Chain A
């Protein structure tokens, strides 16, 4: 039996007091969770803290404007080009993945320490930018198109594959300077998020049909290899499984 209780008597607030008080007093990093005192068996519900919600692949863009989305798709299909190994990053859903990530809690770095003063340090001191991922994309995509207009008289998305590759390589090396954002920092976040989308569980919008997992031979969300661990140097030929299962396991509609 649960004796979980609010901590008014023990050193916190009751739920009612909390709801009636200023939300600004909430501990930001812990969201809406409130201080609790536990004795005896803590109460919990199965899955109660498992908030990962599959994204809707077919919904409208959640963060990007249609123009921004087209630019991102034009980037990710060059970072991960279609070839005999896999479809492109665009067709694998990487742009959808990035859009949904930017619209979620990652997009404004709500979990990240964002107090100033912001100042450049040594490389070893890491990312010191005051910009959130949303800002990095918004500024970076606009600056990229500005650059392409000035130098190619075209938008990035309208350039050919080899031209896009050349520009991406120059962003990566820092040979192009963008107006409103450090070009290397912009390239790095796009590359990181593209790879996250390509290789993450497909429920987040990328890695459609587990294409990346099939490509490298990663079995995905399996959890018991006790019967396989001592089968050394052998191709175990697992078909991958996602957190949502597999399409061919579902009942046909």
Chain B
């Protein structure tokens, strides 16, 4: 077992090599490409939403041809709009961000960066991907369910989600939604067990925990978060399913009736129970998305700043603190839910507490690039974009975490702008940075950097036009999940803003097509990549692009230093690989 013979593996056929593979690199790429396909669906849904919000009630006869029921008569139906809201949120949160950041980068990077040949349980890993794919198909199936897709939002608040008769789409569509989320949970748990085990037991010689790249720390903490949070969502989903099909009353109180007077046969449950269980999962989920993004951005910032990461230890501690605190802040989603106001005070305190480690991370990123020699590559631009949007979105969270100002902000576009910046745009930028950065390692070719720069500049301007403006429209009172804002006279000041946001969103969406074309064209036509095109220090840059099966040569690498030795005084070059023996340069 100490030596690894490349020739011991018989050459695998196309199907075994690229489709039913147990190689972590292939599985990671499968996750990334599947998530990109889901993102296209989720993105198109959001464009349709913007169409309605910008120009409510306008006739779109051509769209009626594509969506005969959604655009019956050429005008978007209210139910269709709410389905867009629900499916956009669900697809993006679970099937894009969670999947691409933990499933995609986690699988691809963990063994490569810690010096292992594969995950601890390659077969379980493959099973995790195929379960994920099944959940993707299921959630897409909800789009075509009888009665339409669910319309209760990605949070699926009970009793709207618990009683199928409460709305169209709450029948079969909602059932498929629950099944998809349960499958996704199972897939995430399989991945999480694998990540933790691999990171703890398979690090190569010299790769101590405190020498891990920050991406690895982030993925490690994320995997633990998932292990603790996903089962609670699963429990909530099981109880919800019994409410829907078994006649139980966990989330449905007695004495409810429909608009036509039909009594609902339930007794005794509590709607807030769902919210408690959901957000106990839901808030850690925010960090399941955000932590890997932070890790990726940290590593990329340091690489292209050509400067060590500032305060590595505090980066690790603050991520751990964020992970811990994320389990005791869920109530800030429920300030106005009728929950005991005393709990509101408590959750305000814990929520503002979590702002401290978040601020630490921001300081450290700025400390990293201060006095640097920044190379403005495409990954670096996106990493800088990540920092900027994280600051904007993080700060606007303080308004919402303070229960008193949340009275004004709750359920408005201020919230929409906030969570998009902090858990959609920032992670998306980190994911883009990661893809541009590791693409050469994935496919052995470089992406087109000119197209990448155009992609960045449009995206960076676009997201700020869209989501900062949403903050302002939220202050003006614009409610979220509203099909037609012109229903309310007090929203008149935001009508124009909505059009501005919509046009910006279309431009932003178009720029992503550029990315997709660049991605797929570069797989075949990009210029060949060298072993270490970015002069980075971590282990994956010591092996060919793309690495062969088993990642490393006959001997696993031995790690001699941390991952951030850039611009070491006296060193021959401005980066020192992690495998470089300390004798060559003494670093402090």
Judge: A and B partners, yes or no.
Answer: no
Q: Tell me the A residues contacting B by CB distance below 8 Å.
A: none
